[in-house]
Every structure is written in structure tokens, then in C-alpha cells.
Amino acid sequence: MLNVYTDQKFLEKHSKGEKFPLVYALLFDERNEFTEVKNFYQLVENIAEAEVAILPCSWNYYLKNNLEKVAEKFINDCDGYNLKVLTYVSGDQGVMPSNKNVFVFRTSGYKSKKLPNQIAFPAFFKDPLIHYIEKENHQVRVKSEKPVIGFVGQATANVLKAAKDIGFIVYRNLKFHLGRSLLEPQQWFAAPYMRYKYLRRLEKNNNIQTNIIYRERYRAGIKSNRSADKTTYEFYENMNDSDYIFNLRGAGNFSVRFYQTLAMGRIPVLIDTDCLLPLEGIIDWTKHCIRILQGNEHEMEKQLLTFHKNLTQEKFEEIQIENRKLWEEYLTLTSFFARIHDLLKAGKL
């Protein structure tokens, strides 16, 4: 158990700020979804009793609202007690923390630009085998001669949209360099267009069976909660009926779908655009996904077919089971921060 200190008075005044996920689990878990987190962490009001500290809201919130001095004071106070400070960057693009000596958790970002104390963490979401796919309808798939690769999502050949997507990135990057925006510069990348390009290639390969649903807009353009839930059911049903799932970044340089694929016990095919994956020193990601480095996309079909061909039925089933287990034991909010707890206790963080 680790004693955790955070600025609860700040949270009382800034309740709408984006909260560090662990702080949210400890203080705002009204549905009791994260009760097991309290087996590893407990909040203390006295900073002198703490073993680690957490900046309560995201850097985005502090910077956007000109509260850097508040964040720095909290960090300096913790430094006086020799406490490690955990912080958080939210959003697809993210911001550069004003203090680079603290630990920074974020889902997005580029591996080549990783800060020394930056820690990749997964996207968190509802367990699909509890909320969307009944467990009796979820089976370990039997290996067929052809690999079955699925995808549901925004993917379009609309060149005008691709130009607009890139133009928006260029505009936003320019604003950053002119000091008019805090959002970090992004690689020029039209994700929906590139997804379409790669998916069409997969469809044209006679040795690959595809299970693809193209959408022009995110969640088919539906915004109501009920309809959004319907598209989520379709999303997971597609995964349930596939062996492999195609994964490519979105607006930010990460893929929520990648973690959802693992949660469904399926095998991700990841186009690695300089991505940061969580716990890389602990998890051997080569055992859980097909990772195609940016620049080698032309080998996508070959890598998929070679990977599938070399699997025995036993190994094929094993990977599916291990991927689901990996998500449960390392990548949910509770299990991920349990691993971070172990690293902190061992002095490895």
C-alpha cells in the first residue's frame, strides 16, 4: 500500500478539471468500479505521511487556465518532502509540461520524442465482455487457412477531407510555433484516408479474408448516447468475428482500438507510427501483436500472412487467451496502476 498525497482543495475549486485517472478512481468512483485500486493506494491529507504525490489535474488544464504557478508550487512543496510527483497529459495532441522533472503519464506522443520521465499508459474503457458481448458468445477462434482481419471505423477515400485534415494539422502546428497554442505539433497525417488506403490493400489480397465496415465519419456521425452505444455493439461484434484487427492511429498518435482488441482476446495488427506502448520493459509486445514499423507498411500483407501461417492451432488459441489476460492483468485502470505501484515500491520508477 502506498500513501498518496494530492491537492484535494484544488479539486474542490476546479471540479471540472481533467483529473489524473488514479485520483479519479480514489476520489470520484461513485459506481465503485475501481474499488480494488484502494488495495494499492490510499490518500492522505498530511503531505508528511505521503510516499508519492499526484498533481490532481492534467497539465492541459493548468496551462490552459494560466495555473502553472499553482502546479509548480505543488511540485515544489512535494520536492521539499522528497516526494516523486506523478502528472498527466490528456487529449489527442497533448501539451508540453512546464516542469520536465516530474513523471508524466500520457496515452499519445512520439517514442522518438519521449521525455526521460514520460510513461506511456493505455486507454481505459468498459470491459466489452461485460457490457457488449455476452461471454457465451465470445469464443477463442479456430484457425482457418486464411487470416480473418476486421475493422469498423472512420476510413474514407475522400481526398478533400484528407487535405482538410492535413491543413488543420499544419494550421495548428503553426499556431504552436507562433506561441498562440499550447498543443504540441503533430506529424502531418490524414488518418481516415490512410486507413482506407491500407484496408483496400488488404481487401485486394486473395489470401486474406477481410471483415471491414467503412464509416465516413467517427461513430458513423451519430452523437446520441443510445445510437453511439449501438455503434459500439457493432464495433465489438466485428472484433468477435475476426482473428486480427487492423490498428492505425487517429487524431493523436495512439490507438484506443489497440487496447480494445486485446480486451476482446484478438490479435492487433498495428501500424507503428513511432507509438509509445505501455510497460515496454515488462511486456514483450512482439508476443501479442503484429507490429509494422512506419516505413515498412508495404510489408503489411506479407507480415500478416507469414505470422498466421507459422501459428499452430494451439499457439493461435494461446495468443488469443494471453491477449485477454494481458489486458486484464496489465492494462485496465486498476491493473495498470497496480503495476505502477509495484514499480514505485521497488524504486524502479
Q: Are residue 73 and residue 211 in the same domain, yes or no?
A: no
What mean pLDDT do residues 110-117 have?
92
Instruction: Give the model confidence (pLDDT) of 289-328 as tens digits.
Output: 999 999 999 999 999 999 999 999 999 999 999 999 999 9
Reported as a pLDDT band with limits 50, 70 and 90, residue 217 is low
SS3 at position 295: coil
Q: Are residue 319 and residue 339 in the same domain, yes or no?
A: no
Contact, 129 vs 263, CB < 8 A? yes
Reported as a pLDDT band with limits 50, 70 and 90, residue 220 is very low
Q: Report CA-CA distances (Å) from 344 to 124, 152, 166, 337.
A: 21, 38, 40, 10
What per-residue confidence (pLDDT) applies to 80? 95
SS3 at position 42: strand
Q: Are residue 163 and residue 275 in the same domain, yes or no?
A: yes
Give first-to-last CA distance, the chain, whole Å: 16
Question: How many residues are listed for the chain in this entry?
Answer: 349
Total tally of structural domains belonging to the chain: 2
| Single-letter code of the amino acid located at 212 | I
Q: How many helices (H) and strands (E) does the chain have?
A: 12, 11
What per-residue confidence (pLDDT) applies to 135? 80
Say if residue 218's pLDDT is above 60: no
Q: Which of 98, 194, 202 is nearest to 155 (CA)?
A: 194
Grid-cell match 491537492, residue found: 7
What per-residue confidence (pLDDT) applies to 216? 82
Contact, 115 vs 100, CB < 8 A? yes
Reported as a pLDDT band with limits 50, 70 and 90, residue 229 is confident
pLDDT above 90 as % of the chain: 82
Say if residue 95's pLDDT is above 80: yes
Instruction: Give the model confidence (pLDDT) of 268-297 as tens digits.
Output: 999 999 999 999 989 999 999 999 999 999
Q: Report CA-CA distances (Å) from 61 to 14, 64, 110, 137, 169.
A: 10, 5, 21, 42, 21
* Average predicted confidence (pLDDT) for the chain: 93
Q: Are residue 264 and residue 134 in the same domain, yes or no?
A: yes
pLDDT above 70 as % of the chain: 97
Q: Are residue 105 and residue 150 in the same domain, yes or no?
A: no
Say if residue 227's pLDDT is above 80: no
Instruction: Give the model confidence (pLDDT) of 133-191 as tens digits.
Output: 988 889 999 999 999 999 999 999 999 999 999 999 899 889 989 988 888 888 888 99
Q: Are residue 159 and residue 281 in the same domain, yes or no?
A: yes
| Residues 306-345: b if buried by 16+ CB within 10 A, e if exposed | ebbeebeeeebbebbeebbebbbebbbbbbbbbbbbeebe
Could you give the dihedral angle defined by the CA atoms of residues 304, 310, 313 and 319, in that order, rounded to the nearest 10 degrees? -60
Contact, 274 vs 250, CB < 8 A? no
Reported as a pLDDT band with limits 50, 70 and 90, residue 335 is very high
Say if residue 255's pLDDT is above 60: yes
C-alpha torsion sign, points 149, 294, 175, 119: positive
Q: Are residue 323 and residue 337 in the same domain, yes or no?
A: no
Q: Which of 332, 205, 218 is nearest to 269 (CA)?
A: 205
Helices (H), 184-331: 191-204, 225-240, 256-263, 300-309, 313-326
Q: Are residue 92 and residue 147 in the same domain, yes or no?
A: no
Contact, 269 vs 291, CB < 8 A? no
Say if residue 73's pLDDT is above 90: yes
Q: Are residue 115 and residue 171 in the same domain, yes or no?
A: no
Range of the domain at 168: 128-331
Task: State the CATH number of the domain containing residue 270.
Answer: 3.40.50
Q: Are residue 143 and residue 43 in the same domain, yes or no?
A: no
Say if residue 262's pLDDT is above 60: yes
Q: Are residue 209 and residue 294 in the same domain, yes or no?
A: yes
SS3 at position 289: coil
Q: Are residue 278 and residue 162 in the same domain, yes or no?
A: yes
